[in-house]
Amino acid sequence: MEILFETERFYLRKICLDDVQDFFELDSDPDVHKYLGKKPVKTIEQSAEMIQDVLKQYQEYGIGRSAIIDKKSNAFIGWSGIKYETKVRTDYAYYDIGYRLKKAFWGQGIATETGVASLKYGFEVLKLDKICGGAHVENIASNRILQKLGMTRTETFDFDGDPHHWYEIYR
Ligand SMILES: CC(C)(COP(=O)(O)OP(=O)(O)OC[C@H]1O[C@@H](n2cnc3c(N)ncnc32)[C@H](O)[C@@H]1OP(=O)(O)O)[C@@H](O)C(=O)NCCC(=O)NCCS
Protein backbone atom coordinates (compact mmCIF):
# COMPACT_ATOMS: atom_id res chain seq x y z
CA MET A 1 0.00 0.00 0.00
CA GLU A 2 1.63 3.25 -1.16
CA ILE A 3 0.54 5.72 1.52
CA LEU A 4 0.80 9.35 0.43
CA PHE A 5 -0.39 10.98 3.64
CA GLU A 6 -2.64 10.28 6.60
CA THR A 7 -5.13 11.93 8.91
CA GLU A 8 -6.24 10.98 12.42
CA ARG A 9 -8.67 8.34 11.12
CA PHE A 10 -7.51 7.54 7.57
CA TYR A 11 -4.66 6.60 5.27
CA LEU A 12 -4.65 8.21 1.84
CA ARG A 13 -3.01 5.87 -0.63
CA LYS A 14 -2.68 5.61 -4.38
CA ILE A 15 -5.67 4.16 -6.22
CA CYS A 16 -5.03 0.84 -8.00
CA LEU A 17 -6.87 -1.62 -10.25
CA ASP A 18 -7.72 -3.81 -7.24
CA ASP A 19 -10.11 -1.02 -6.17
CA VAL A 20 -12.46 -1.73 -9.07
CA GLN A 21 -15.29 -3.32 -6.99
CA ASP A 22 -15.19 -0.43 -4.54
CA PHE A 23 -15.20 2.08 -7.40
CA PHE A 24 -18.21 0.30 -8.88
CA GLU A 25 -20.07 0.40 -5.56
CA LEU A 26 -19.26 4.12 -5.27
CA ASP A 27 -20.04 5.23 -8.81
CA SER A 28 -23.10 3.06 -9.53
CA ASP A 29 -25.02 4.85 -6.73
CA PRO A 30 -27.36 7.48 -8.29
CA ASP A 31 -27.30 9.50 -5.04
CA VAL A 32 -23.51 9.85 -5.27
CA HIS A 33 -23.92 11.22 -8.82
CA LYS A 34 -26.85 13.54 -8.05
CA TYR A 35 -24.70 16.67 -8.53
CA LEU A 36 -22.13 15.07 -10.86
CA GLY A 37 -24.17 15.06 -14.05
CA LYS A 38 -26.52 12.22 -13.02
CA LYS A 39 -24.58 9.57 -14.96
CA PRO A 40 -23.80 6.74 -12.50
CA VAL A 41 -21.82 3.89 -14.04
CA LYS A 42 -23.66 0.78 -15.20
CA THR A 43 -20.82 -1.71 -15.64
CA ILE A 44 -17.65 -2.77 -13.85
CA GLU A 45 -15.75 -2.06 -17.08
CA GLN A 46 -16.64 1.62 -16.76
CA SER A 47 -15.16 1.62 -13.25
CA ALA A 48 -11.99 -0.04 -14.54
CA GLU A 49 -11.73 2.72 -17.18
CA MET A 50 -12.06 5.37 -14.47
CA ILE A 51 -9.18 3.78 -12.55
CA GLN A 52 -7.06 3.59 -15.72
CA ASP A 53 -7.67 7.31 -16.14
CA VAL A 54 -6.41 7.97 -12.58
CA LEU A 55 -3.30 5.83 -13.21
CA LYS A 56 -2.64 7.85 -16.38
CA GLN A 57 -2.89 11.08 -14.38
CA TYR A 58 -0.34 9.76 -11.84
CA GLN A 59 2.03 9.09 -14.74
CA GLU A 60 1.43 12.28 -16.72
CA TYR A 61 1.18 14.82 -13.91
CA GLY A 62 2.63 13.04 -10.87
CA ILE A 63 -0.62 13.62 -9.02
CA GLY A 64 -4.22 12.36 -8.86
CA ARG A 65 -6.96 11.44 -6.38
CA SER A 66 -6.15 9.11 -3.44
CA ALA A 67 -8.13 6.25 -1.93
CA ILE A 68 -9.37 6.90 1.62
CA ILE A 69 -8.73 3.84 3.81
CA ASP A 70 -10.09 3.53 7.33
CA LYS A 71 -7.20 2.92 9.73
CA LYS A 72 -9.24 0.66 12.01
CA SER A 73 -11.27 -1.48 9.57
CA ASN A 74 -9.11 -1.11 6.44
CA ALA A 75 -12.35 -0.31 4.54
CA PHE A 76 -12.26 1.64 1.26
CA ILE A 77 -14.34 4.75 2.02
CA GLY A 78 -13.99 6.59 -1.29
CA TRP A 79 -11.44 9.03 -2.65
CA SER A 80 -10.15 12.49 -1.87
CA GLY A 81 -7.33 14.72 -2.98
CA ILE A 82 -5.90 16.88 -5.70
CA LYS A 83 -5.80 16.27 -9.42
CA TYR A 84 -4.56 18.31 -12.36
CA GLU A 85 -7.88 19.13 -14.00
CA THR A 86 -7.95 19.89 -17.71
CA LYS A 87 -11.63 19.44 -18.59
CA VAL A 88 -13.76 21.51 -16.22
CA ARG A 89 -12.74 25.06 -17.14
CA THR A 90 -12.71 25.51 -20.88
CA ASP A 91 -9.93 28.09 -20.96
CA TYR A 92 -7.36 26.78 -18.48
CA ALA A 93 -6.15 23.80 -16.44
CA TYR A 94 -5.72 23.95 -12.66
CA TYR A 95 -5.11 21.89 -9.50
CA ASP A 96 -8.51 20.75 -8.27
CA ILE A 97 -9.48 19.54 -4.80
CA GLY A 98 -12.25 16.94 -4.70
CA TYR A 99 -13.80 14.05 -2.76
CA ARG A 100 -16.33 11.29 -3.33
CA LEU A 101 -17.45 8.89 -0.61
CA LYS A 102 -19.67 5.82 -0.46
CA LYS A 103 -23.02 6.90 0.95
CA ALA A 104 -22.62 4.77 4.09
CA PHE A 105 -19.82 7.12 5.18
CA TRP A 106 -21.47 10.50 4.62
CA GLY A 107 -22.03 12.88 7.52
CA GLN A 108 -18.97 11.90 9.60
CA GLY A 109 -16.69 14.78 8.64
CA ILE A 110 -14.58 12.55 6.40
CA ALA A 111 -14.49 14.83 3.35
CA THR A 112 -13.47 17.76 5.54
CA GLU A 113 -10.81 15.79 7.45
CA THR A 114 -9.23 14.41 4.28
CA GLY A 115 -9.68 17.75 2.47
CA VAL A 116 -7.65 19.60 5.12
CA ALA A 117 -4.87 17.02 4.74
CA SER A 118 -5.05 17.22 0.93
CA LEU A 119 -4.52 20.98 0.97
CA LYS A 120 -1.59 20.58 3.36
CA TYR A 121 -0.08 17.90 1.10
CA GLY A 122 -0.64 20.08 -1.98
CA PHE A 123 0.99 23.16 -0.49
CA GLU A 124 3.73 21.63 1.67
CA VAL A 125 4.79 18.53 -0.27
CA LEU A 126 3.82 19.31 -3.87
CA LYS A 127 4.62 23.02 -3.36
CA LEU A 128 1.59 24.15 -5.37
CA ASP A 129 0.86 27.90 -5.35
CA LYS A 130 -2.88 27.71 -5.87
CA ILE A 131 -5.61 25.06 -5.46
CA CYS A 132 -9.16 25.46 -6.81
CA GLY A 133 -12.46 23.65 -6.45
CA GLY A 134 -15.90 23.69 -8.04
CA ALA A 135 -19.27 22.50 -6.72
CA HIS A 136 -22.79 22.43 -8.15
CA VAL A 137 -24.63 25.38 -6.57
CA GLU A 138 -27.21 22.99 -5.04
CA ASN A 139 -24.58 20.63 -3.57
CA ILE A 140 -24.79 22.14 -0.09
CA ALA A 141 -22.43 19.64 1.57
CA SER A 142 -19.68 20.17 -1.01
CA ASN A 143 -19.98 23.98 -0.92
CA ARG A 144 -19.88 23.83 2.87
CA ILE A 145 -16.69 21.73 2.83
CA LEU A 146 -14.89 24.07 0.42
CA GLN A 147 -15.80 26.98 2.71
CA LYS A 148 -14.67 25.05 5.81
CA LEU A 149 -11.34 24.41 4.07
CA GLY A 150 -10.84 28.18 4.05
CA MET A 151 -11.30 28.58 0.30
CA THR A 152 -12.69 31.80 -1.18
CA ARG A 153 -15.69 31.75 -3.51
CA THR A 154 -14.88 34.01 -6.45
CA GLU A 155 -17.43 33.29 -9.19
CA THR A 156 -20.14 31.03 -10.59
CA PHE A 157 -19.50 29.23 -13.86
CA ASP A 158 -21.27 26.78 -16.14
CA PHE A 159 -20.18 23.16 -16.28
CA ASP A 160 -22.13 20.60 -18.30
CA GLY A 161 -25.09 22.99 -18.44
CA ASP A 162 -25.31 23.43 -14.64
CA PRO A 163 -24.23 26.40 -12.48
CA HIS A 164 -21.24 25.71 -10.21
CA HIS A 165 -19.58 27.83 -7.55
CA TRP A 166 -15.84 28.31 -7.94
CA TYR A 167 -13.38 28.44 -5.01
CA GLU A 168 -9.68 29.26 -4.73
CA ILE A 169 -6.98 29.16 -2.08
CA TYR A 170 -3.32 30.25 -2.27
CA ARG A 171 -0.28 28.87 -0.44
C1 LIG B 1 -20.15 15.76 -0.65
C2 LIG B 1 -19.57 14.65 0.23
C3 LIG B 1 -18.14 14.39 -0.19
C4 LIG B 1 -19.63 15.11 1.69
O5 LIG B 1 -18.85 14.24 2.49
P6 LIG B 1 -19.00 14.23 4.09
O7 LIG B 1 -17.84 13.47 4.64
O8 LIG B 1 -20.36 13.75 4.43
O9 LIG B 1 -18.85 15.79 4.43
P10 LIG B 1 -18.48 16.41 5.84
O11 LIG B 1 -19.17 15.61 6.91
O12 LIG B 1 -16.99 16.55 5.96
O13 LIG B 1 -19.06 17.89 5.76
C14 LIG B 1 -20.31 18.18 5.20
C15 LIG B 1 -20.79 19.52 5.72
O16 LIG B 1 -21.95 19.92 4.97
C17 LIG B 1 -23.05 20.04 5.87
N18 LIG B 1 -24.24 19.59 5.15
C19 LIG B 1 -24.42 18.44 4.46
N20 LIG B 1 -25.66 18.42 3.93
C21 LIG B 1 -26.25 19.58 4.28
C22 LIG B 1 -27.52 20.15 4.03
N23 LIG B 1 -28.42 19.52 3.27
N24 LIG B 1 -27.81 21.38 4.54
C25 LIG B 1 -26.88 22.04 5.28
N26 LIG B 1 -25.63 21.55 5.55
C27 LIG B 1 -25.34 20.33 5.05
C28 LIG B 1 -22.71 19.17 7.04
O29 LIG B 1 -23.45 19.55 8.21
C30 LIG B 1 -21.21 19.47 7.18
O31 LIG B 1 -20.98 20.74 7.73
P32 LIG B 1 -20.65 20.94 9.31
O33 LIG B 1 -19.44 20.10 9.61
O34 LIG B 1 -20.41 22.40 9.43
O35 LIG B 1 -21.86 20.46 10.05
C36 LIG B 1 -20.39 13.34 0.11
O37 LIG B 1 -21.74 13.63 0.37
C38 LIG B 1 -20.28 12.73 -1.28
O39 LIG B 1 -19.39 11.94 -1.55
N40 LIG B 1 -21.22 13.10 -2.19
C41 LIG B 1 -21.23 12.59 -3.54
C42 LIG B 1 -20.07 13.12 -4.39
C43 LIG B 1 -19.99 14.63 -4.43
O44 LIG B 1 -21.00 15.33 -4.54
N45 LIG B 1 -18.76 15.13 -4.35
C46 LIG B 1 -18.49 16.55 -4.41
C47 LIG B 1 -18.45 17.00 -5.80
S48 LIG B 1 -18.06 18.73 -5.94
Supply the pLDDT for residue 2.
85
Ligand 1 centroid to residue 91 C-alpha, Å = 29
Supply the pLDDT for residue 30.
98
Decide: 139 in ligand 1 pocket, CB within 6 A: yes
- For residue 136, the ligand 1 atom closest to its alpha carbon is 48
Average pLDDT, rounded, for the chain: 97
Decide: 125 in ligand 1 pocket, CB within 6 A: no
Decide: 170 in ligand 1 pocket, CB within 6 A: no
**34-66 burial, b for 16+ CB within 10 Å, e for fewer?**
ebeeeebbeeeeebbebbeebeebeeeeebbbb
Residue 1 pLDDT more than 90?
no
Secondary-structure class of domain 3-170 per CATH: alpha beta
Ligand 1 centroid to residue 128 C-alpha, Å = 25
Residue 46 pLDDT more than 80?
yes
Calculate helix-pair angle for 20-27, 44-61, nearest 10 degrees.
110
Decide: 88 in ligand 1 pocket, CB within 6 A: no
Supply the pLDDT for residue 65.
97
Average pLDDT over residues 125-152: 98
Average pLDDT over residues 144-168: 97
Decide: 101 in ligand 1 pocket, CB within 6 A: yes
Residue 117 pLDDT more than 80?
yes
Supply the pLDDT for residue 56.
97
Average pLDDT over residues 63-81: 98
At 165, the pLDDT band (50, 70, 90 cuts) reads very high
pTM: 0.96
